[in-house]
Structure 1
Amino acid sequence: MRHISFIFFVTIIFVASIFFRIGLLVAAQKPNVILIITDDLGNTGLSSWGSSFYETPHIDALAKSGVLFKNFYSASCLCSPARASLMTGKYPQRVGITEYIESTRKTGPHSHETTLPQTEITLGEAFKKNGYQTGYIGKWHLGAEAGGWPKDHGFDWAMASCEHGMPGSYFFPYK
């Protein structure tokens, strides 16, 4: 009887150690995150959302293997405040971006920020802090001056953003 108890105990310890190691391996694997932000995209603009007019096969493939946010409400109808809210998780007025950030316009007083403050923690910074490599492609619209670029807010690299938040061209080399 003691022999059977010993074998049972050793088997339980062995199985528990296997599950523990599997748990460590699963915990170490971080999912890839791709966040696609668009302007003026309705809920019928993608074939993965039921559009029979638009064909979006690559986005559909991502949608099948990922998570879709189908019930997201923008904090603003304007680009810059909406993006500031999404990047920080705060209402636009909390970060001081309540209007569209125009290019490098320097005329007249501004009652709002023209660059996302450095003190704000963005998605880029949060992901980077947790060991992710981060990148930003396309329209930024959260800073018209130095210190307000994607690289200043936790993104390792950025492509196609110029001083007014959009690419100078939508064709390579995006100048």
Structure 2
Amino acid sequence: MMKKSFYLNNFVFSFVLAFLLCASFFVCFSLKSKEISFVECTFCKDEFHSIDPKAWLIVYPGIVGCTKQCPLALAKLKAFRKAREGQNISFLYLVMDENIPVDHAEDSLQAYKKELPIQTYHPKGDKRKFFQRLGAYLPISPVLKERDEHNSIFFCIPPSRDRVYVCKDLDHFAIETLSQPDVKNHLD
């Protein structure tokens, strides 16, 4: 009888220990995945010199003619702007497809410009490749464009224009970056 109790106690202890280890691993991993990553940007200062140097840039890489993800992402941008009314933020719509004329891209944003002051940005060459490496979607095939299946990521560029933050959740980004002293100073 005592032997059964000993094995049962060891089994329960081992199970609880394994559960706690798994739970701590899950918590650490989930916290790690919410970290905000950034990439140094050597051309941003020159590329965006005409935009208010005190403003954060929020860049959304959309697809002209998109009917699913882009309207949702642009609605997120409107809500983000509204929640941060007093902050100095500029918005750019990143057009990755070099075959889209500038006028066509501008026309596709007219409905959103009433509530969201957003400009189009057409990067060329290495600058386009830079954003593509960060996750900006470039559908090459017309079939892929018709499917309209791409993710919604945002690129956030601080007033220092020395880096590009890559984030999927703008609200999480704002909370995390506003708590960092070097970033908070730019938004005050």
Structure whose residues are more often strand by fraction: 2
Q: Kindly indicate which of the two structures has a greater share of residues assigned to helix.
A: 2
Q: TM-score, normalised by structure 1?
A: 0.33
Larger RCO: Structure 1 or Structure 2 (Cα < 8 Å, ≥ 6 residues apart)? Answer: 2
Give TM-score, length-normalised by structure 2. 0.31
